[in-house]
């Protein structure tokens, strides 16, 4: 097995759709700041699916209401789903300076949802949100730099944005940063550093990070060779995988490393994986 080729394939699979852990608008985080009374009124209208009331509040300048009208149209709650209308409302909210609607609007431009796909415009809005320390926007901005979408391809810039998101604990960014250190893309190649980032993401449950961490233990990259740890992380990656291809890849690797282990070692690796799953 070619370790470097395998790792590259995993990274490219994660970034091709612009986001290894891309934040979805449907998660509905807290909108831009407003007064407590306005927030309560807007929240109650959302629970009632009362778009008419939200629009009335929006006309008075209620920033929560402006944001939530966009959300209602995005999700089709209380109205017929309409991404174009949602984009208009999210733009109004984004122009007020809120990092959340800025990130959502960027995502809509990146994916051509409700607006013509425009990576350059996505970059503008992701950057605004990223500069306000929104980890998901930092990750997405890094991925656009990595792929050269909307900007010239720039691994160094990508790594910089991944690092900002990773420092906030974003597992997807931790994983992508690990890959870049393993491959020496935008940073000096350093297996030990790559392994450290993979471990952070793996401990957070990131399936590809668990797989790549297993590979590093198997090959003795970034530290001593350790079949027991390799088996453990391959096992965890297989257990958490949703796609059959991802699960089969981890199972195959686990079974290959098992041929180098004693039954006692395999049992210990399985015990460690079980302990991790019970955390």
Long-range contacts of 44-53 (CB under 8 A, 24+ apart): 46/71, 46/72, 46/77, 48/78, 49/77, 49/78, 50/78, 51/77, 51/78, 51/79
Residue pair 118/151 in contact (Cβ under 8 Å)? The answer is no
Give span(s): CATH 1.25.40.10, the chain.
1-20+170-279, 22-134
Query: Residues 147, 151, 154, 159: what is their CA dihedral angle, to the nearest 10 degrees?
Result: -70
- Per-residue pLDDT at 194: 98
Residues of the chain with pLDDT under 70: 1-34
- Per-residue pLDDT at 18: 34
- Per-residue pLDDT at 185: 96
- Per-residue pLDDT at 279: 82
116: CB partners within 8 A, 6+ apart? none
- Per-residue pLDDT at 38: 84
Domain 1-20+170-279 CATH superfamily:
Tetratricopeptide repeat domain (1.25.40.10)
Second-level CATH architecture of 22-134: Alpha Horseshoe (1.25)
Summarize pLDDT for 101-119 with one digit per residue, the tens.
999 999 999 999 999 999 9
- Per-residue pLDDT at 58: 94
- Per-residue pLDDT at 24: 45
Dig out the tokens for 9 from the structure: 């394939």
Can you give the pTM of this predicted structure?
0.83
């Amino acid at each position: 097995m070619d370790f470097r080729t395998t790792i590259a394939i995993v990274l490219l699979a994660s970034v091709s759709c612009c986001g290894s852990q891309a934040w979805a608008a449907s998660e509905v985080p807290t909108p831009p700041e407003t007064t407590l009374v306005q927030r309560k009124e807007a929240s109650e209208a959302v629970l009632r699916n009362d778009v008419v009331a939200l629009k009335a509040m929006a006309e008075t300048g209620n920033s929560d209401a402006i944001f939530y009208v966009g959300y209602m149209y995005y999700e089709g709650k209380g109205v017929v789903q309409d991404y174009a209308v949602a984009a208009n409302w999210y733009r109004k909210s984004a122009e007020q300076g809120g990092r959340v609607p800025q990130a959502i609007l960027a995502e809509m431009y990146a994916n051509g949802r409700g607006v013509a796909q425009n990576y350059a415009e996505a970059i503008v809005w992701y950057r605004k949100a990223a500069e306000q320390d929104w980890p998901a926007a930092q990750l997405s901005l890094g991925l656009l730099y990595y792929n050269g979408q909307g900007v010239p391809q720039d691994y160094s810039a990508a790594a910089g944005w991944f690092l900002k998101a990773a420092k906030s604990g974003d597992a997807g960014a931790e994983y992508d940063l690990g890959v870049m250190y393993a491959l020496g893309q935008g940073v000096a190649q350093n297996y030990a550093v790559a392994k450290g980032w993979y471990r952070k993401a793996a401990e957070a449950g990131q399936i590809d990070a668990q797989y790549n961490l297993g590979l590093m233990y198997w090959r003795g990259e970034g530290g001593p060779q350790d079949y027991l740890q390799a088996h453990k992380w391959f096992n965890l990656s297989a257990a958490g995988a949703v796609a059959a291809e991802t699960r089969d890849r981890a199972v195959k690797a686990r079974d290959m490393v098992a041929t180098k282990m004693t039954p006692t070692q395999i049992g210990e690796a399985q015990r460690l994986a079980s302990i991790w799953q019970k955390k």
